[in-house]
Amino acid sequence: MLKNYIKIAFRVMLRQKFFTAISIFGISFTIMVFSIIASITAITFGNDAPNINRERTLYYRGFTVEGDQFRFSAPEPVFYDQVEKLANVETMGRYIAGQLTSFKNGKKTSIDVVFTDEKVWKIYKHDLLEGRTFTADEARGAQSIVVITESVKKHYFGDEKAVGQFLETTPRLRVIGVIKDFLHIGGVGPEAAQAFIPLNRYHFGANKNPIYSAIIVAKQQSDLPEIKQSLSKLINERYNPKKRNVELWANDVYERNDFGDYLAIMAVFIFFTMVIPALNLVGINIGRIAERRSEIGIRKAFGASSSVLAGQFIAESIIITLIGGLLGVLLTYACSGLVITHIVASNDDVIASNSVLIHWDVIMYAVLASLFFGLLSGAVPAWRMSRLHAVKALKNGNL
């Protein structure tokens, strides 16, 4: 019976090419928009690799003491040692973000880099494709070594092995490892870097007064407010003898990205992008099924009950939405590259990542959502038309 449904669904789709095209385009476009938005949300706020600890991470950038100048972070290593020793801190990584520039074949290329310590390899989960990452000793020893992403490797070394070769930047850096490209949107420091350089190597650069930021991973998400209080306390003790007001620049990922506003806007947007094609589909389905009154009469005459007929029309709707869903996935795949090029890359000179902005869980939910809407949009007209009186259907049919 399903084969028969599929056959007739395809014939009907071909017979009503215009409506089919509108319908399928509506579904696939909706899925694409929904998938890209949801993927961006997941990449920005989720706990997927490499950001496996994101929900319990505090991003510390510094503080301002009232009446004083803005002060990025605290320059003394001892301050960070104290933070790291707080009872509810699991680990802490320090970093300084920047860009390195090089020229290849006369073309300027920029790489988003981060000077960081070895903790970064524990806080984030990267897939190592070649070589190794740097150790605590190497990070402290300020060695001129670097771990790069696969797109940077591809840009400089093509398909050759990168480990042991040098990045012709200033300073010149020896590649010790290659990690898989990863997606980042609005990420800071290690979350947006294409090359990882030992922290102390920064002291040998032009800037002799390094400004650290820190990524503090709490033991539990619920520890974050307490860690913030402890940070304030430490700052007050060390840097605020006159007891003026202190503004702490430390936020978790949700505060950092105005999560609430973002969610509300996205929810409204997704609702409209899903509801409009769904309503359109209801209309199309009513018209599509109404044109087949005679078929309803024939099938009833030969033994189809109303429920079997409703099932047939719903199955047809699902077939159409499923085709739209699969096209939507392909469209998402095709368009995600554009999104990466135009949104994710920090500027035009930066090497484009070859990652694809696809979050498979999200796509699965998007396809399920489209099936749900397909079912919903098919069910109402199917139920109405399947209850059509057989004699009336045969009389008014126009086959």
Partner 1 sequence: MIKLTDVEKVYRTSTIETMALSKVNIVINKGEFVSIMGPSGCGKSTLLNIMGLLDEPSSGKIEIDNTLISGYADKRLAHMRNQKLGFIFQSYHLINDLSVVDNVEIPLLYRKGVSGSERRKKALEALEKVGLNSRTKHYPNQLSGGQRQRVAIARAIVGNPEIILADEPTGNLDSVMGEEIMNIMLQLNKTEGTTIVMVTHDENMANKTERVIRFFDGRQVN
CB-nearer residue toward partner 1: 9 or 367: 9
Cα dihedral across residues 356, 193, 190, 251: positive or negative: negative
* Cis before 50 (ω within 30): yes
Task: Please list every residue from 5 through 24 that binds partner 1, using CB under 8 A.
Answer: 7-8, 11-12, 15
C-alpha 92/C-alpha 59 separation (Å) is: 10
C-alpha 153/C-alpha 194 separation (Å) is: 10
Shortest separation between residue 390's beta carbon and partner 1, angstroms: 4
C-alpha 168/C-alpha 276 separation (Å) is: 53
Nearest partner of 50 among 156, 109, 133, judged by Cα: 133
Shortest separation between residue 285's beta carbon and partner 1, angstroms: 16
Cα dihedral across residues 32, 35, 41, 47: positive or negative: negative
Binding region for partner 1 (CB under 8 A) out of 94-102, 145-153, 244-252, 383-391:
383-391
388 binds partner 1 (CB under 8 A): no
CB-nearer residue toward partner 1: 4 or 220: 4
CB-nearer residue toward partner 1: 158 or 303: 303
Pairing state between β 145-149 and 173-179:
parallel
CB-nearer residue toward partner 1: 20 or 51: 20
Shortest separation between residue 336's beta carbon and partner 1, angstroms: 37
Instruction: Confirm if 293 and 388 have CB atoms less than 8 A apart.
Output: yes
Size of the site for partner 1 (CB under 8 A): 28
The helix/strand/coil state of 134 is coil
Nearest partner of 89 among 234, 258, 255, judged by Cα: 234
Give how far the C-alpha of residue 377 lies from the chain's centroid of Cα atoms, to the nearest Å.
Answer: 30
CB-nearer residue toward partner 1: 15 or 174: 15
C-alpha 114/C-alpha 109 separation (Å) is: 16
Pairing state between β 107-116 and 195-198:
parallel
- Pattern 286-325, partner 1, x by CB under 8 A: --------xx-xxxxxxxxxxxx-----------------
Task: Using CB under 8 A, pick the residue from 205, 210, 311, 397 that binds partner 1.
Answer: 397
CB-nearer residue toward partner 1: 88 or 306: 306
Pinpoint the alpha helices (H) of 207-258.
Answer: 224-239, 253-256
Shortest separation between residue 310's beta carbon and partner 1, angstroms: 11
Residue identified by tokens 């003898």 is 241
CB-nearer residue toward partner 1: 241 or 303: 303
- Pattern 338-377, partner 1, x by CB under 8 A: ----------------------------------------
Binding stretches for partner 1 (CB under 8 A): 1, 3-4, 7-8, 11-12, 15, 294-295, 297-308, 389-391, 394, 397, 399
